[in-house]
Chain A
Amino acid sequence: MSVQPAGIESGDTAAAPAVPAFAIRNLTKMYGPVAAVDDVSLDIPQGAFLTLLGPSGSGKTTILMAIAGFIAPTSGEILREQKSITTLPPDKRNFGMVFQGYALFPHMTVEDNVWFPLRVRGVSKSQAAGRIGEALEMVQLGALAARLPTELSGGQQQRVALARALVFQPDLLLLDEPLSALDKKLRADLQWELKDLHRKLGTTFVYVTHDQEEALSMSDEIVILRDGRIEQSGDPLTLYERPATRFVADFLGKSNFLAGEVADREDGRFRYRIGGETFLQAGAASDAHVVMALRPEKLMVFNTRPDTANAMQGEIEQFNYYGANYHFKVTTSALGDVIVTVPAWRCEVEPRIGNRIWIGWEPDAAVVVADT
């Protein structure tokens, strides 16, 4: 990853300008009576790595296709530098796109695939040779220029698609689940590479995925979509630590949900009851009925009653060993089944089905979420 296409400045990108480079305003796309995208507005700052995350059918790909120009919105606008590009045909937008399943031209060599965007802009192959070479070097495929796409592995094809989408210095790179067809190890490698590319080129990336780990590890900003609407958006840390709704807490990472009745309130914390037990929670509760999201890794396991603010006794109903972690399913009287993740190398309790153990957590381990 040492060479970049000619003319692209390296190094860190300048602070985001006051005006977002791209913006979506009240985008709606109807298919018959069904709204695939329902009144979505979002800003895409220059140089951002923005991820649209959601389950299938949440409208994330529809939004991406609308930005690319393949789907005409039913209403709403797509803006570049505050000017509408909603009706501009896809070939006039100067956006690169990496498709799910690569979409390489099967009858062209790797080199000709990368030449294509320059070719349709009137650049001859000899003129383009330097830039093609640099783009292929950038994705470490210089040696395979003369191959046909069918002669490459999935990971290599994905790299060609990347080189092809970047060689003409697009204003925006759109990525539609680009890693979903690759095996886990290769996916992890390419995540590093994509992030590296983004940092070096400074190009704005809009990334679509249903893989929450991918979204967390790569993005500057994540937009979580649900049924065509934005559920919550923000940087990965905020979304993971402060999910606003039950849906976000469940979709981004795993969560245990504790639903209880507020018993009493103090300054900055409150107590709630579930099944006859009382627990302490930091924060404020607006209603009498509250739902807390509690991450499995923020729970701890003990052989004896711990001195944490909250503690419950339970029985290991099942456990999984992952090398790095144990995942315990602990059955408790008040909370039902609770999932606990413990680093395996310092697991205090004996991992055995039927073992009676204690679980404990602090008041700030859980967050109050809206129950939707």
Chain B
Amino acid sequence: MTEGKLTFGRCMVLGAAWTVLGFLVLPMVIIFPVSLTDQYYLSLPKEKLSLEHYEAFFTNEIWLSATFQSFVIATASTALAVLLGTLCAIGCWRISTRASDSVRSFMLVPIIVPTVVQALALYRFWIDLRLVDTYAGVILAHTLITIPYVVITVSASLARFDLRIEQAARNLGASISQTIRLVIVPRIMPGVLSGAIFAFTISFDEIVMVLFITSRKIYTLPKRIWNGIQDHLDPTIAAIATMLIVLTLALLLAELWLRQRRQRSNS
């Protein structure tokens, strides 16, 4: 990128771009000093910086239990979504007909349909299946909305995978499962991991579905935060938010790194 001359128009464009960027990022950044407040309500630090709200999170049974629940649900739904999404992507790639292309497009429906609508539908359905307010119910719901991300990332890494490599494996005596295990999966691993990271992040901070299909037994972290905000403005929420932002950022950076590696191995 060459540095152009700093004309008036260029200044305007740059200024606008940075304003938008600041508008997007600053609210997130403000959370960080708030989490270090010495007050007992959501505010900027007055007298000194304090870690008491981080301490409160790690000593409070309610917060820890919510984190644990979120973790279990995110892990289980990620595992399911990765398994099903990967198989779906491989199947569509292998069959590669107009029908399989439409299956792949159809898999994107959970991303397109508004979550509220889906949540409402699932709530109705989950009542009949007695899945409301159960781990299984939430895990299934989250699997549903995260599968598309796995299908997308795995399909992307399969797109430039030569079908003849799969044929070569079969010809050399590998069964279908050996071919998937020894030849296809190692090749698409970056795509699978990207999908897994997306699935985990989305499940971990998903709240709309959870609000609809759980009541008293299941309390995920986002739901606790939501309730916490409604009850009183506990700064622990800012501490949790800070930690979540750092965690998500780390995962997204990992995803970026994997994507670069995938592009390198494809070229």
Contacts and interface: CB of A to CB of B under 8 A. Distances in A.
A104 B171 CA distance: 12
B4 interface: no
A96 B172 contact: yes
Contact of A121 (B165, B173, B265): B173
Contacts of A328: none
A310 to B, nearest CB: 51
A116 B170 contact: no
Contacts of B183: 105
Contacts of B186: 107
Q: Which of B170, B174, B175, B187 has the most CB of A within 10 A?
A: B170
A70 B167 contact: yes
B146 to A, nearest CB: 27
Contact of A120 (B162, B165, B178): B178
27 contacts: A68-B167, A70-B170, A89-B170, A90-B167, A90-B171, A91-B172, A94-B173, A97-B167, A97-B171, A99-B164, A100-B164, A101-B162, A103-B164, A103-B165, A103-B168, A105-B165, A105-B183, A107-B186, A107-B187, A107-B265, A116-B169, A119-B182, A120-B169, A120-B174, A121-B173, A165-B172, A168-B173
A164 interface: yes
A358 interface: no
Contacts of B162: 101, 103
B265 A164 contact: no
A90 B164 contact: no
A205 interface: no
> By DSSP majority rule, is chain B's interface helix, strand, loop, or mixed?
helix
Contacts of B182: 116, 119-120
B173 A120 contact: yes
A85 to B, nearest CB: 14
Interface in B150-195: 162, 164-165, 167-175, 178, 182-183, 186-187
Interface in A138-161: none
Interface in A45-70: 68-70
A103 B175 CA distance: 17
Interface in A92-115: 93-97, 99-101, 103-107
Q: Which of A89, A104, A105, A174 has the most CB of B within 10 A?
A: A105
Contacts of A90: 167, 170-171
10 residue pairs, one from A and one from B, having the closest CB atoms: A117-B172, A103-B168, A103-B164, A120-B174, A90-B170, A97-B171, A99-B164, A120-B173, A103-B165, A107-B186
Contacts, number: 69
A96 B169 CA distance: 10
B170 A91 contact: yes
A200 to B, nearest CB: 21
Contacts of A106: 165, 187, 265
A106 B160 CA distance: 12
A206 to B, nearest CB: 13
Contacts of B178: 120
Contacts of A94: 173
Contacts of A69: 170-171
Nearest to B166: A103
Contacts of A89: 170
A99 to B, nearest CB: 5
A116 B164 contact: no
Given A91-B171, A103-B165, A120-B172, 20 more contacts: A68-B171, A70-B171, A90-B167, A90-B170, A91-B172, A91-B174, A91-B175, A93-B171, A96-B171, A104-B165, A105-B168, A105-B183, A106-B265, A107-B187, A116-B169, A116-B182, A120-B178, A120-B182, A165-B172, A168-B172
Contacts of B265: 106-107
Contacts of B172: 91, 96, 116-117, 120, 164-165, 168
B167 A99 contact: yes
B22 to A, nearest CB: 43
A64 B119 CA distance: 52
A68 to B, nearest CB: 6
A83 to B, nearest CB: 19
A46 B203 CA distance: 60
A174 B171 CA distance: 10
A90 B172 CA distance: 8
B167 A103 contact: yes
A116 B170 CA distance: 11
Contacts of A105: 165, 168-169, 183
A163 to B, nearest CB: 12
Contacts of B187: 106-107
A103 B170 CA distance: 12
B190 to A, nearest CB: 11
Given A116-B182, A120-B182, A99 B173 contact: no
A70 B165 CA distance: 13
